Structure 1
C-alpha cells in the first residue's frame, strides 16, 4: 500500500502541518512517470525539519528485464542559485568567505570557505533569488544576468538543482552585504584577481564545488577577454 493511502497515524508533514505548515511531503515522486523502468511505490518522511529527508521505495527494471525493489533516502533542501560576479575593468571577481560547519567537521582546517554568492530559491524564480542573495551577502545590485547551466550537485542523495549565472558588478556601487544577522550569517567579501582565481583552486584556498565550476567556466569564457 502506498503511503499516499492514509493507513498510519497522522504525522507532521504527512497529514498534519509540520513546523513550516507543509503537508503532503510523502507524496513527492509518486506521480513521476518519465522513466518506464522505474515504479515508485512508497514515500516516507523520515525527518521533517527545515529541510526534508525522505525514504523512497521503488521498483527498478534492469537491462536484463528483471524487476528489483530498492529503497533510497533523499535529502530535499529545495533548489538553489549561484552567480559569479566579475568586474571586467578591474579584472576581479567578487566572492565571499564564511564559516561552513559541515566542511569543518569533515576535515577542512577552519571551516572558512571562499565561495561564489549563492542561496536557496525559497519560492522565488532563480533570477530573483540570486539577485536577492547577491544583495544580502555582498551588497551588489545585479544587473543583466547570463544564465550558464543548471546542475545537480550531489545526485546520489540530494535532490537540489542549482541554477548557475554570471554577472558584472561595479566595485564602487557595493552597499551593505554581510548576510542576514537574524540567520546567524557573517559573510566577508573577498576580491580575487582573474590571474589568482585558478591558483586558489590548485593550492586549496577554494574547495567549494559550485565555485570551482564557475571559475572553470570563467577560465574558458571570461579570463581571456
Structure 2
C-alpha cells in the first residue's frame, strides 16, 4: 500500500470510513506574523530564572487599536520548541499513546499520569528527527513516513514553546509490557494501544486531557470524515 493511499478506519460501529492521506508542507501566514508589527516596543528585559528553561520579564509599550499607548509587564517562560507525533495503524484502525507522570497535573490532583501522544523537545534536532528519536525512546518503535499537521502555540499567554505536530504510520504491535523513556531523566512511560474510536470516547469522558493529544486525535478523525465525503457518522 502506498503512503498516498494509506487509510484509517474511524468508527467501530458503522462501516469503516477511510481517509486518503496527502503530503502537507509547513506554512505560516505572513499576515499573522505581521499583524502586531510596530505596535510593541520592548523597553527592558530581566532574566528571573535560567535553569531547565528561562523565565524572562519584559517591560513594554503596547499601542492599542484606538492609538493609545499602554505600559505592560509580562513574564515569558521558554524551554525551546517541541514536537509531537500520533502513530496510527491503518489496517487495524489503532493508535499508540503513552501514559506518564507529570508534576503540574499531579499538583492539580491528577496523580495517575496523563495519557499523551509521543512528544519531546527538539534539542537542536529538526522536528522530524526529534519525533523519530522520541518514538524510539518512548514507545520503542520506528515510524513510517510522517505527515505534518501543524505548528501550534500551546500556552501563548506565558510560554514561548511552539509544538510541531505530526501523524505517522506504524506496523506490527507495540510491546505494551515494556516501559519507555529515559530512566536517567526520570521518565517511566507506559505504552498504550487503542482504537481511534476508543480514544474519541476517552476524550468525551475526560480520560484524555492533554491538549496536543486531543488535537491530533481529532485531526485524524475529522480528516477521515471530510476526505471521505461523509457529512455525518456516528462515532460512539
TM-score scaled to structure 2, two decimals? 0.77
2:175–2:191 Cα contact (<8 Å) kept? no
Structure-2 separation of matches of 1:65 and 1:43: 24
- What's the secondary structure of 1:171's corresponding residue? coil
Structure-2 separation of matches of 1:78 and 1:123: 9
| 2:192 matched residue in structure 1 | 190
- Select 1:61's aligned residue among 57, 60, 63: 63
Structure 1 residue 195, shift from structure 2 partner: 1.7
Residues 151-190 of structure 1: pairs in structure 2 closer than 5 A: 151-172=152-173, 178-190=180-192
| 2:137 matched residue in structure 1 | 136
Structure 1 residue 130, shift from structure 2 partner: 0.7
CA change 1:143–1:177 in 2 (3 A) is: farther
Structure-2 separation of matches of 1:53 and 1:131: 29
1:125-160 deviations in Å (ceiling 9; x for gaps) = 111111100110001112211001000000000001
Residue segments in structure 2 that go unaligned for 5+ positions in a row:
1-33, 229-236
| 2:50 matched residue in structure 1 | 48
| 2:216 matched residue in structure 1 | 214
Structure 1 residue 87, shift from structure 2 partner: 0.4
Aligned residues: 193
- Select 1:91's aligned residue among 90, 93, 113: 93
Residue segments in structure 1 that go unaligned for 5+ positions in a row:
1-31
1:85–1:166 Cα contact (<8 Å) kept? yes
- What's the secondary structure of 1:162's corresponding residue? strand
CA change 1:103–1:173 in 2 (3 A) is: closer
CA change 1:215–1:120 in 2 (3 A) is: same
CA change 1:215–1:173 in 2 (3 A) is: closer
Structure-1 separation of matches of 2:189 and 2:175: 14
Structure 1 residue 173, shift from structure 2 partner: 7.4
Structure-2 separation of matches of 1:76 and 1:46: 12
Displaced runs of 4+ in structure 1, greater than 6 A? Answer: 173-177
TM-score scaled to structure 1, two decimals? 0.80
Structure 1 residue 172, shift from structure 2 partner: 4.4
| 2:77 matched residue in structure 1 | 75
Say if 2:116 is the partner of 1:115: yes
2:174–2:191 Cα contact (<8 Å) kept? no
Structure 1 residue 35, shift from structure 2 partner: 1.1
Structure-1 separation of matches of 2:174 and 2:65: 57
| 2:26 matched residue in structure 1 | none
